[in-house]
Amino acid sequence: MDFLKKNKVYAIGIIVFLIALVAIVIALWDILIPSGGSVYGNRLEGIEENVPSDTVINEIKNDLKSNTHVKEVEYTISGKILNFVIDVEVGTDKVSSVSFANKILEHLTEGQKSYFDIQVYFTCKGEELAEGEESIYPFVAYKHRTATVFTTTNTD
C-alpha cells in the first residue's frame, strides 16, 4: 500500500489507461466483428419477394433445353446475382447463344429483372478445333439490374 500512496498519480494514470484500453477493444470488437446477421448486411432486403421460384427456374431450363443447340443448363444464385451456365452444341454461333440468354428474361418478372444482375456463362464442352482455329467459347453474357440487354465478353 505504501507504493500506491507514494505513486498515486501513476496508479490513477494506469487505471484510467486500462479502462480506456478495454473501452477501445470493446468498440473495435463491435465494429470489426458484427453480431450475427447476413454476410451481405442489409443489401439483400427484399430478396425473398424476388427470388425466382423453382418452377420458374425449371421452366427456363426446359425452354432452353428444348433448343437443339443447348446440351445442358445449370443455375445458381449468389446474393443478388443469378448465374446460368449453358453448354451449347459444337458449331453454335455467338448470336444464337446470346439469344438463349434473352430467353431467360422472358420468364422473369419485371421486379426480378430490376432486382438481380444476371450472368450467363456459355461453354462448348467437347469442341475440337482444327490447328490454328480459335473458339468463341467460353464467353459471358451479363445484364446489370438497371440494363435492358445483355453485354458479352470473352473470358480468355
Q: What is the pLDDT of residues 44-73, one digit of tens each?
A: 888 888 999 999 999 999 999 999 899 999
Domain co-membership, 69 together with 14: no
One domain for residues 88 and 136? yes
pTM over 0.75: no
**Do 88 and 130 sit in the same domain of this protein?**
yes
Count how many domains the chain has. 2
Residue 40 included in any domain: no
Q: Which domain holds residue 21?
A: 2-32
Record the cell numbers describing residue 109, joined without a space: 418478372
- Measured CA to CA, the distance from residue 6 to residue 55 in angstroms comes to 80
